[in-house]
Structure 1
Amino acid sequence: MGQRWRVLVGLGAALFAVNVVARLIIKFGFDGDELAADRVTLGMFVVIGLMLGAVAFNWGQRRPVAQWGPEAAGAIGIALALTMLVGPLLVGENPFAAGSATFFWQVVLYLVAAGAGTVLGYLLLTTLGRDHRSRHLSRYAQTATTKPRRIVRR
């Protein structure tokens, strides 16, 4: 069980690190340029989606969705809380400085990017037939169609 918590916290920290890098790039590279800040933010959401797609692709091969789904959701929750509450403080801003509407829209955008990446990664895995369930069904089909060993009497 301890191993699962380490993976969950590690994934959450990696997602948060992507946000921190994006915030630092905006702060030091494009301070005041809204168009560039929006592009960096879009890039951050794409990277988060790709990371979660890769995680879903990797975890979906070994375990059923019922096992890794809650872990991925927990990691997304940890990363979201850190991103929304701690991330702005790292660059000297208030999390609620732009108002509550902006804060909640950021939460929605983060969840959409994370959910889309996870779902697309798992759909790709399922399309290729390499997910946990497809592999078990394939093994069952192979064993069910083979003829049983013929017993030879002497």
Structure 2
Amino acid sequence: MDKRWRDIGVLAGALFAVNVVARLVNHFGFDGDDAAADRVSLGMFLVIGLILAVLAFVWGRRRPLGDWAADIGGAVVVAMLLTVLVGPLLVGDSPFAGGAGTFFAQIWFYLGATLVGSLIGYLVATALGLDHRSQSLKRFAELKTTKPRRVVRR
């Protein structure tokens, strides 16, 4: 159980670190250039989605959907709260500096990127037949075909 919490914490920390790097690049590299800041933010969401796609693919092969989805969901919620509430403080802004619309847009974009990334990773594993359920069904089918047929006497 400790390993499970450690994995959730490491994932949340990694997702938050991606956000911190994007914020620092925006702050020091593109201060005042909104178009460049938007591209960096889009890149951040793509990297977050890619991380979760790879993780969903790997965890989806080893564990049932409910187990890894709960872990990813917990890590995403923690990372999102850190990103929205603590992230702006690192570069000297307020979490609500852009107004309520910007605050909630960050939340929706973050949730959207994480959901799409996780779904893509799991759907690729499922399409290739590598997910946990497909492998379990494959083992079950192989087991049932190897047993000899029982002869019924009348």
TM-score, scaled to structure 2? 0.95
Aligned to 1:117: 117
Number of aligned residue pairs: give it: 150
Q: CA deviation at 1:46?
A: 0.2
RMSD (Å), alpha carbons: 1.3
Aligned to 1:138: 138
Counterparts of 1:85-100 in structure 2, within 5 Å, are 85-100=85-100
Extract unaligned runs of 5+ from structure 1: 150-154
Counterparts of 1:29-48 in structure 2, within 5 Å, are 29-48=29-48
* Counterpart residue identity of residue 111, structure 1: L
Q: Distance in 2 between matches of 1:4 and 1:37?
A: 35
TM-score, scaled to structure 1? 0.95
Aligned to 1:73: 73
Q: CA deviation at 1:147?
A: 4.3
Query: Equivalent pairs: percent with the same residue?
Result: 58
Aligned to 1:152: none
Q: Distance in 1 between matches of 2:61 and 2:4?
A: 17
* Counterpart residue identity of residue 134, structure 1: S
Extract unaligned runs of 5+ from structure 2: 150-154
Q: Distance in 1 between matches of 2:86 and 2:102?
A: 16
Q: Distance in 1 between matches of 2:30 and 2:116?
A: 28
Q: CA deviation at 1:148?
A: 2.7
Q: Distance in 2 between matches of 1:65 and 1:147?
A: 29
